[in-house]
Structure 1
Amino acid sequence: MGDRLGPVHAACIRSFMRHGHDVVLHSYGRPVDTPDGAAMFDASALMRPDEIIRHRATGSLALASDRYRFRLLKAGMGVYVDCDIFCLQPFPDEPYLYGLEQDAQVNGAVLAMPADSKLLQDIMSATEDDFFIPPWSRNTLRRLWSLRKAVGFPRHVADQPWGTFGPQLVTYMIQKNTLMETAQPIDIFYPLHFQQTSLLAQPGLRIADIVTPRTLGLHLYNQSLKGLQPAAGSPLNEVIQS
């Protein structure tokens, strides 16, 4: 959304094309700095603008973004990746592709799963429900929200804790479907912890210093980049200049 990607997102798109991937940017209009060679897809074909929901307390678009990526997978449109994933090696062609960001939590910034899979069906039953009740919530809260839903006063996901459709949901459903063994190890997509993103602005470091030889993509955690300056000789500057 918006008329400009910004230098980090544009560099990430270029990184996938550089490694031989066909890139399709889903957007409600073509950003002026879209890299040459990236195809465009009208996002309104999968999510009308009037369907976009924001988290009420923060204004975040995460709920809409999470819902959208699963519709993309249901449509059989390939591997979904956030625009803040910097590609370092070609991604494998696997039916299930996602990775751990912590020892027991899967992140959804890189996602692939069969369109007809039980996993995707279970996830979409949650993300298409505006009044979804997270099954990992405390018993007392689940009972309260279930009662409110039963009597016609449900709690909208926009009023629930941030990230209701995010990594917690993805991890829960992968565990429910006994597919945790298909999750890639932490260093494949998430070698940089989201609380360590200041390393990206450190002069004297390179991307090679914060990844492993088998890292395929580096998640840059866009929300944590705000305020960071891409100093010369820093990993973030290396991303932008690539």
Structure 2
Amino acid sequence: MSERRAVASLWIGEKLHYLNQLCLLSHVRAGHRTILYCADKVDNVPDGIEVRPASEIMDLDRALIEATSASFLSNVFRYKMIRKIGAIWIDCDAFCHRPFPEDQEYIFGRHGMSGALNCGVVGLPQQCELMDQLLDYYDNLPDYPAWWNKNQRRKYDRQDPNLSHAARIYNAERTAFGPQAFTYFAKQTGQYDQASDRDVLYPVPFQLNDIFYDPYGRVEGHFTENTLSVHLYTNGTKPWWQKHAPLPGSYAARMCEQVGVDPTKALR
């Protein structure tokens, strides 16, 4: 068993894509105990990854997942997991470039072009005000998120009233339970300034995510000596790349060779 800090993620579904296998194994390769909480029986989890039932952390509302997305409940699952076991949350599309520091309590960062925070990689103390406020938000949803403007509230009001309150918020603003909430509460509790710069956890902007599949793209040109994680943004990947192996020489292909993943065995 590795002595490095544990990392953990959630998977809802019966099969991992090769990029998910790659990202999870990259943390194993870096020496982190890597836990995958599963809502279903997953038949292609690589050796070295510890599989645990998601119910150990929380019960998953399948009807709510159907009304939103498989990634919806990960927004609350991540904080309940951190509170319970103290592991670092990693999305299943976050590639470990270098091991996470052992002595850093707060691990989260800015992403994209706007400076907003992302929560694809999150490390927090098990007991902290930021965690308290996030969990209270999810457990006691307000009529509207506190940071919403009039237009966002109108979008909510136009949603199907037969949907649950949570689903209406999600449909109005897909990131209201993820980056929006994390950014708002980090500012409320004074932790926003502890966010790392984009190059640490999200060196490649979301808008450029096709570069991972381009054999002539200089992905590493985005990296610095501070880069720890590389987010591959599989939710934004074009369907073609989900169904085909990466081109030889591309970042995705090179990392698969480096970590030991055969893309052809785990396509969609």
TM category, shorter: 0.7 to 0.9
Residue in structure 2 matched with residue 235 of structure 1 by the alignment: 251
Q: Is 1:63 matched with 2:72?
A: yes
Letter in 2 for 1:86: F
Q: Is 1:196 matched with 2:208?
A: yes
- Of stretches 122-131 and 67-76 in structure 1, the one that deviates more from structure 2 is 122-131
Q: Any stretches of 5+ residues in structure 1 without a counterpart?
A: 147-152
Shift of 1:80: 0.6
Residue in structure 1 matched with residue 221 of structure 2 by the alignment: 209
CA contact (8 A) 2:86 2:126 kept: no
Letter in 2 for 1:18: R
Shift of 1:179: 1.2
Q: Percent same amino acid at aligned positions?
A: 26
Residue 95 of structure 1: which of 93, 97, 105 is its match?
A: 105
Q: Any stretches of 5+ residues in structure 2 without a counterpart?
A: 1-11, 260-268
Q: Could you say what the CA RMSD is over the residues aligned between the two structures, in angstroms?
A: 2.5
Q: How does 1:1-150 map to 2 (within 5 A)?
A: 1-50=12-61, 53-54=64-65, 56=67, 59-93=68-102, 94-102=104-112, 103-130=114-141, 133-139=144-150
- Rounded Cα–Cα distance in structure 1 between residues aligned with 2:17 and 2:100: 24
CA contact (8 A) 1:131 1:157 kept: no
Letter in 2 for 1:13: L
Shift of 1:193: 0.9
Shift of 1:41: 1.5
CA contact (8 A) 2:60 2:73 kept: no
* C-alpha spacing 1:132/1:70, structure 2 compared with 1 (3 Å): farther
Letter in 2 for 1:129: N
SS for the counterpart of 1:119 is helix
- Rounded Cα–Cα distance in structure 2 between residues aligned with 1:65 and 1:11: 20
CA contact (8 A) 2:199 2:222 kept: no
- Of stretches 1-10 and 28-37 in structure 1, the one that deviates more from structure 2 is 28-37
SS for the counterpart of 2:73 is helix
* C-alpha spacing 1:235/1:164, structure 2 compared with 1 (3 Å): same
- Rounded Cα–Cα distance in structure 1 between residues aligned with 2:109 and 2:25: 22
Shift of 1:198: 1.1
- Of stretches 187-196 and 97-106 in structure 1, the one that deviates more from structure 2 is 97-106
SS for the counterpart of 1:63 is coil
Q: Is 1:218 matched with 2:234?
A: no
The TM-score, its normalising length taken from structure 1, stands at 0.87
Residue in structure 2 matched with residue 174 of structure 1 by the alignment: 186
* C-alpha spacing 1:208/1:29, structure 2 compared with 1 (3 Å): same
- Rounded Cα–Cα distance in structure 2 between residues aligned with 1:197 and 1:101: 13
Aligned length: 234
CA contact (8 A) 1:157 1:164 kept: no
